[in-house]
Amino acid sequence: MNGIHDLGGAHGHGPIAAEIDEPVFHHDWERRVFPLFASLYVGGYFNVDEFRHTIERMDPAHYLQSSYYEHWLHAFETILLEKGVISAAELRGTATPTASAQPATVLTADMVEAVVLGGASARAAEDVPGRFKVGDRVRTKNLNPATHIRLPRYARDKVGSIEIVHGAFAFPDSMAHGQGEQPQQVYAVRFSAEELWGVAGPDTVCIDLWDSYLEAA
| pLDDT per position as a tens digit, 63-84 | 999 999 999 999 999 999 999 9
State yes or no: pLDDT of 103 exceeds 80. Answer: no
Q: Which whole number is the average pLDDT over 145-155?
A: 96
Strand arrangement, sheet containing 159-169: 204-210, 184-192, 159-169, 137-140, 214-216
**Per-residue pLDDT band at 136 (split at 50, 70, 90):** very high
pLDDT of residue 170: 96
| CATH tag, 137-216 | 2.30.30.50
* Residue spans in the chain of domains classed CATH 1.10.472.20: 28-118
Question: Residues in the chain, how many?
Answer: 217
For the chain, percent of residues with pLDDT exceeding 90: 80
The answer on pLDDT for 10 being more than 90 is no
Question: How confident is the model at residue 113, as a pLDDT?
Answer: 87
Considering the domain 28-118, what is its CATH architecture?
Orthogonal Bundle (1.10)
Q: Which of 212, 217, 207 is nearest to 130 (CA)?
A: 212
Domain with CATH 2.30.30.50 in the chain: 137-216
